[in-house]
A and B are shown apart, each in its own frame.
Chain A
């Protein structure tokens, strides 16, 4: 019993005081600031600004998820099934960006896409365009930057699924004369669907609470949920609204994660 107190309790106490209690405080705030009642929730879910931001976030996150998971699928294919040399090259291409700070990566995209950046300078030097194309401070840049950040995360569940594919099934299909394309569409892709689902939900959950990349590359032009919460805390203080939005976000992400756990639990049986 004393071991329990000394070993298990410290971290529970630590997180209870510094994380759970303040979160409950935020939940309380969402019902009381500025007026008691459900007013904040009804504003978050009906007013034009928050609902517009929620829809934009969902739309962009669906797009980002689709881009990241398909890009990740292609490169994972090479990472898992390529020749040893190809495997080590792709591994470097996945791992190097993965370990690099989110800020350096956002800055990299600014260097690529901004008006005096690499892409615009090249295009102008080649005479393809006269004046710089605006490629940052818009949704395009946000989708590019977020997908770039999330591709490595999508790779890991996909790689697990691809490694579990039974080689003999593929060899059998090959022996029976199925074309490469047919083997891919009718056998390989369905057999890795659990990885696709896992990667999709993981990337979607990650993207939805994301702040840094959209704020830097969107340049305040396309505000997402996380940035709206930031604005409501620091720029136009509306703590109750920020709290209500956080609770909504938490519930949404919690729901998705619940589905993910259930699905993986079923597959593990």
Chain B
């Protein structure tokens, strides 16, 4: 059947929106090759100096390492907490399950600046007690990122649990399996793709997190976005253009590969 396709006007307007969406991503490419120390277009002489600066400057490498550490730790812990919570809700179906889930999703819906202030307040208080989970410390950043990504992990794991056949767990239960056996032997292996998906989403979110990180770090623990922010806020540093070009290339590659895989899957059906 020939369905109604969008007309010329809609296509034209969408084209404009598409240009609007892609334009700033393309604009960073020439800027990254400027030979000047400030934001400008290369006039004649293209230079790799800002790319070289990324690799030579130890600070960028240190921030990259910090971001990876924070991302891995926060995602792992967040997924563990979220998985336990979701499995608990799924198995026990306690009263007030909706209310508890709503509470866990709170950091996702609260305005980011309110969460930032809340975590700043918390880590500031913690700083009087200890040196690890505190303001401007690695543990503090990990904890703050955990708070921010836990709701997303809960959503992803809840979805994969909702597709799990409850009879499987009931069978295990009727054969006398105790709770740990049911969790580790039956449920966890069956939702492993949900767990992996949740881990990747959490890592990506933590990798990009800037709103909260800005409030809870100053000089010691600097994640990659935080360093980009410093370079953008003070003097617009073209190294960030070079870094942005690299990040944009990675994302474009991933999105394109995913799209190609989906198309092939559809065609093979």
Contact = CB atoms under 8 A, between A and B. Distances in A.
Interface of A: 2-4, 6-8, 10-12, 14-15, 18-23, 25-26, 29, 71-72, 74-75, 77-78, 81-83, 86, 88-97, 99-112, 114, 116-118, 121, 148, 151-152, 167, 170-171, 174, 180, 183, 205, 208-212, 215-216, 225-226, 229-230, 233, 242-243, 246, 249-250, 253, 257
A175 to B, nearest CB: 11
Contacts of A12: 85, 100, 103-104
Residue from A11, A96, A171, A233 having most chain B Cβ neighbours under 10 A: A11
A116 B41 contact: yes
B113 A230 contact: yes
A221 to B, nearest CB: 14
Given A83-B5, A93-B22, 8 more contacts: A8-B84, A10-B81, A101-B228, A118-B27, A226-B111, A226-B113, A229-B117, A249-B111
B233 interface: yes
Given A15-B106, A170-B4, A22 B119 contact: yes
A253 B39 contact: no
A174 B259 CA distance: 33
Contacts of A74: 10, 13-14, 17
B122 to A, nearest CB: 4
B39 A75 contact: no
Contacts of A82: 5-6, 11
A243 B31 CA distance: 40
A4 B88 contact: yes
B113 A105 contact: no
Contact of A209 (B111, B232, B255, B256): B111
Which applies to chain A's interface (DSSP): helix, strand, loop or mixed? helix
Nearest to A119: B27
Contacts of B164: none
A23 B117 CA distance: 8
B225 interface: yes
23 contacts: A4-B94, A8-B85, A18-B119, A25-B122, A74-B13, A77-B10, A78-B14, A81-B6, A82-B5, A83-B5, A86-B11, A100-B248, A101-B244, A104-B248, A107-B24, A108-B24, A111-B39, A112-B27, A171-B4, A211-B112, A216-B233, A246-B113, A250-B111
